[in-house]
A and B are shown apart, each in its own frame.
Chain A
Amino acid sequence: MTDHQGEFDPVSGRSTTGHEWDGIKELNTPLPRWWVITFYLTIVWAIGYWIVYPAWPLISSNTRGVLGYSSRANLAVELANLETARGEKMVALGATSLADIEKDPALLAFARARGRTVFGDNCAPCHGSGAAGAKGFPNLNDDDWLWGGTLDQIMQTIQFGARSGHAKAHEGQMLAFGKDGVLKPDEIVTVANYVRSLSGLSTGKGFDAAKGEKIFADNCVACHGDGGKGNPELGAPNLTDKIWLYGSDEATLIETISQGRAGVMPAWEGRLDPATIKAMAVYVHSLGGGK
C-alpha cells in the first residue's frame, strides 16, 4: 500500500495519516472498500432520487420529478378510497328508516360517528362542540325541545330549519308585546312574574297572581297553551319546566316579552346530503334528550 508516504507507528505497526493533535497522531485506519463503494452508491441513489421524485425548490415551484409523484395526488386518491369505503355504510344509512338505524348497533355507531363529525363542522358554532348550547341556542343534550324531540321531529328541524326561509321551515315567533304596544309596562312585569311562578320560581313583591293569570290567558295561551305547557307545533317553549333558552330571571323575561324572540335555525337540506342529515338526527337524538 502507500504506507511509505506517511509516518509509521511502531506500536500498532500501522502508518499514520500525518494528522496530529496535542501530540496524539491519528492512525490510518481505512474503511473497507465495500463500505466506500456503498457510500458512493448512496450518492448515486440520491441523484437518481432527485431526478425521479420532486426535489429541488425553485423560485416559485419545485422540480417535479419524472415520475410525476405528488403527495397531494396521493391524498386525493386516499380520500376517494375513504369515500368508497364509507359509501356502503352511507347507502345503508340512506336506505334504513330512522327508527331502524338505532336498532342496528353497527349502523348506530357509524351514524353517531358520522353525525359527530358533521355536527362539529356545521352545528358547533351555535350549539357548541358538545351540543351544550348557549344563551339563545338550545342545549341538545337535555330533554326540552322547542320543535319536538322525536327522531322524526329532530330530523325535520335539521332538514328545514326554523324561520330559515325554507318553504317547509318551522314558523312561529314570540311577539314583541311591549314594543308593539299590546301590553303596558306594568302588565309585562306582572306576566313575567306569573311565568316565573309557573315553574316554581320566586315572584317579586306585590305580585298579583290573579292579574298575571288573566294577562297570560288573554295573550299567551294561544301559543304556550293552557298552563304554559308549550306547543312544539309553534316552537312555543314549555314555561313550566326548569329549562330556559334565554334565561329565567325577571329582567330577561321582561326583555323577552317586550322585544319578542325569533331565533333562526338554518335549513340543512341541500347543503348536506340526506344520509348525512339522517346521521345527524340520530346523533342528536342519541345525545340523551331524544324522546
Chain B
Amino acid sequence: MNKAVNPNELTSDDDYGPLYAARKKVYPQSVHGTFRRIKWGLMAFCLGVYYFLPFVRWNRGLGAPSQAVLIDLPNSRFYFFFIELWPQEVYYFTGLLIVAAVVLFLMNSVGGRIWCGYLCPQTVWTDLFYAVERFVEGDRRDRMMKDKSAGALTLRRVSEIVLKNFIWLLIAWWAGGAWVLYFSDAPTLVKQLLTFQAPMVAYIWIGILTATTFVLAGYLREQVCTYMCPWPRIQAALTDEWALNVTYRYDRGEKRTSVKKAAELRAHGEQVGDCIDCYQCVAVCPTGIDIRNGPQLECIQCGLCIDACDNVMTRIGRPKRLIGYDNDINIQRRQEGRAPIYRIVRPRTIVYSAIIAAVGGIMLYTLATRSLLDVNVLHDRNPVAVRLSDGSIRNAYTVRLLNKSGYDRVIAIDANGPVNATVHVVGIDSVTPDRPMIVIPRDSTSELRLLVTAPADGNPEKSIPVRFHVTDIGLGEVASATDNFVAP
C-alpha cells in the first residue's frame, strides 16, 4: 500500500501527501468523576469572578470611584479593593507578571499543564460551550449521528443549531461585556450600553471579544491549543521528568483484551492487562487523542480520561487509576518492576517557590509601607546656579508633590541645606514667605518651582547636599527628597 520512493529521485519540490489536512471533528462524551467535578468547580469560580467582579462595590469616599476593581484609564488610576495604584507604580504590575509567570512554571513542574486543563480561559469557555452543545444536541453519539445526516435539515435540527449558537452568542457577548465593565463604573456603563449612550469604544470591544469568544470556544476549540497557542511548546521546554502528567500505565494496561477474555486468561494464571480497549478514554477527550499512545502535544491534561477509565475500572472490578497523574520516571520504574516514586519538593520547585515568595514579599512590603505623600526634586541644569546682585547664590529646583490620599492636604516645604538659606516657591510668596505652604488637592500632583538662596559667604564648598521635607500640616506625615546645592 505504501510504495517506497527512492530519495535520490526526489527534488526538494516533490512533496507527497496533502498540503493541508481537513480537521477531524471531536465529539467529546460527557463524563462524571473527580476531575470533572474539579473542573466544574473551577469553571464556576473563574467565570463567577470574571462576570460578577465589576459589580462589587467598595466605598472610597465622595468623588472617588466606588468600584472594587477598576482600571481608570482616563485618570491613569488602578483600583483593586483597598489598593489604589498610580502610573508611576506600574512596577507592581511588573511584579504581578513575574509572580504569575513563575506560578505557571511552578504549576508546570508540579503537575504539567494544569493551567491548560483547568484554568485557561480557552479551556474554561470551550468546556462551557460543550456543555451547552450537549444540552441542546445530545451527547457524543447523538451529535455524531446528527452531523452525519447533515443533509436532512429538518425543522427540529435547524432550530437546534440556531438555539445552540444563540446560547453561545449570549455567553460570548457577556464575556465581552464583562471585560469593558472593568474600565468604567459598571452599573452606569450597563445603563449606558442598554440605552445606546455608551462610548463607541465600549461597543467595539464588546464586539471584538464577543466574536473571539464565540469563534474560539464554539468553533476552533482544541485547534487553538494545538495550533495557535505557544504555551504547549514552551511548557515542553520547561517540564522535567518529575512533573506529574496524565499517563496511561502501560505496565498495568497491556496486553489489552476484552473483559471476558481477561477473566479466562486470569483463571489460567496468565498475565493480562487491565485495559479492555473500550475507547472510553478517547471518547471523552476534548482534543480527540488516545492517551494510551503516550504523552502528546495535544493533551491538555484535563484528567477527563482518568474519570472515564476510573468508571470503567469500577464497573469491571479492577483498581482505579489505570490512567492517572504520573511522571516519566515512574513509567520507567514500573516497567522495571520497581515501586513508583514521587517528589514534589526538588530544587526546581524550591527555586520557583522562593522566587514567588521573594517577589510577593517585596510587593506586599512596599504596598504596606508605601507613602501616600511623595516628593520628587529635579535640580535645574541650565543654569545650575545663579549669582544674584548681592553676591548670594541661588539654585532652582522643580519639585513635584504627589498626594495619593483621598483628601486635600496643606503642605509645608522646608529645605535643610546651606546655612541661612531661604526657600521661595514661585507664585505663592504672599502667604508664607519663610516656610512656603501650599494646598495639594486629593489624588493629584502639583509641580512647583522652588528657589533656594544662600548668602554669598559661608558656603565655601562647591556642592552641599540639601534635603527637602514636605510636611502635611494636619497629619504630620513627612516625605523628603535629597538633592544638591551647587555654587557657580
Contacts and interface: CB of A to CB of B under 8 A. Distances in A.
Nearest to A104: B427
A141 B381 CA distance: 12
A238 B389 contact: yes
B12 A142 contact: no
Contact of A241 (B4, B19, B389, B449): B389
A33 B19 CA distance: 9
A8 interface: yes
A109 interface: yes
B389 A105 contact: no
B382 interface: yes
B17 A109 contact: no
Interface string A134-152: 0000010111100000000
Contacts of B394: 141-142, 288
Nearest to A13: B293
B386 A33 contact: no
Nearest to A8: B2
Given A6-B5, A108-B427, A286-B449, A132 B383 contact: yes
B7 interface: yes
B301 to A, nearest CB: 22
A30 B3 contact: no
Contact of A288 (B23, B220, B390, B451): B451
Interface in B368-394: 380-383, 386-391, 394
A32 B387 contact: no
A129 interface: yes
A193 to B, nearest CB: 20
A7 B2 contact: yes
Contacts of B200: none
Contact of B20 (A33, A102, A132): A33
Contact of A142 (B16, B389, B427, B456): B389
B17 A28 contact: yes
B14 interface: yes
B447 A109 contact: yes
A199 B19 CA distance: 93
Interface in B1-55: 1-5, 7, 10, 12, 14-23
A16 interface: yes
B396 interface: yes
A180 interface: no
Interface string B389-410: 1110010100000000000000
Given A3-B2, A32-B20, A242-B391, A141 B386 contact: yes
Given A33-B21, A33-B23, A288-B451, A28 B386 contact: no
Given A128-B382, A288-B426, A241 B14 contact: no
Interface stretch (A17-25, A52-60, A157-165, A264-272): A17-25
Given A18-B7, A32-B227, A132 B387 contact: no
B234 to A, nearest CB: 20
Interface string A30-67: 11111110000000000000000000000000000000
Nearest to B9: A18
Nearest to A132: B383
Contacts of B19: 30-31, 36
A139 B382 CA distance: 11
B5 A242 contact: no
Interface of B: 1-5, 7, 10, 12, 14-23, 220, 223, 227, 380-383, 386-391, 394, 396, 424, 426-427, 446-447, 449, 451, 456
Given A1-B17, A30-B17, A31-B227, 12 more contacts: A1-B21, A5-B3, A5-B17, A6-B17, A16-B16, A17-B16, A32-B21, A33-B20, A34-B220, A35-B20, A142-B387, A142-B388
Interface of A: 1-8, 15-20, 28, 30-36, 102-103, 105, 108-109, 112, 128-132, 139, 141-144, 238, 241-243, 286-289
11 contacts: A28-B18, A30-B19, A31-B227, A130-B380, A132-B386, A142-B394, A243-B387, A243-B389, A286-B426, A286-B449, A287-B396
The 5 A-B residue pairs with the shortest CB-CB distance, nearest first, are: A130-B382, A6-B16, A8-B2, A241-B389, A132-B383
